[in-house]
Amino acid sequence: MQSKLSDADRELAEDLDVTVHTVIASFPASQNKLAELRSATETDQVLSAVRLCIRDGIPTDTTWLQPEVKQILKSTAEIYDINGLLFLNNKLIVAQSLRKSILDIAHEGHLGVEKTKQLARSSVYWPGMGDDIERVINKCSVCQSFQRKQQHLPSSTRSCMAKARC
Among 15-19, 21-25, 46-50, 158-162, where is mean pLDDT lowest? 158-162
For the stretch 79-126, pLDDT in tens is 988 889 999 988 999 999 999 999 998 888 888 889 999 989 988 999
Which strands, in side-by-side order, build the sheet including 79-82?
A: 79-82, 85-88, 91-93, 124-125
More confident residue, 136 or 146: 136
Residue 1 Cα to chain centre, angstroms: 42
pLDDT, one tens digit per residue, over 55-67 is 898 888 889 999 9
- Taking the domains of the chain in order of start, what are their residue ranges? 1-93
The pTM score is 0.72
Lowest mean pLDDT among 7-21, 58-72, 147-161: 147-161
Residue 125 dihedral angles phi and psi, to the nearest 5° = -150, 145
Rounded CA-CA distance 28/131 in Å is 23
Whether the pLDDT of residue 33 is over 60: the answer is yes
Distance CA 106, CA 100 (A): 10
Q: How would you classify residue 95: left for phi > 0, otherwise alpha for psi between -120 and 50, otherwise beta?
A: beta
User: Regarding predicted confidence, which is higher, 60 or 149?
Assistant: 60
Residues of the chain with pLDDT > 90, as a percent, come to 40
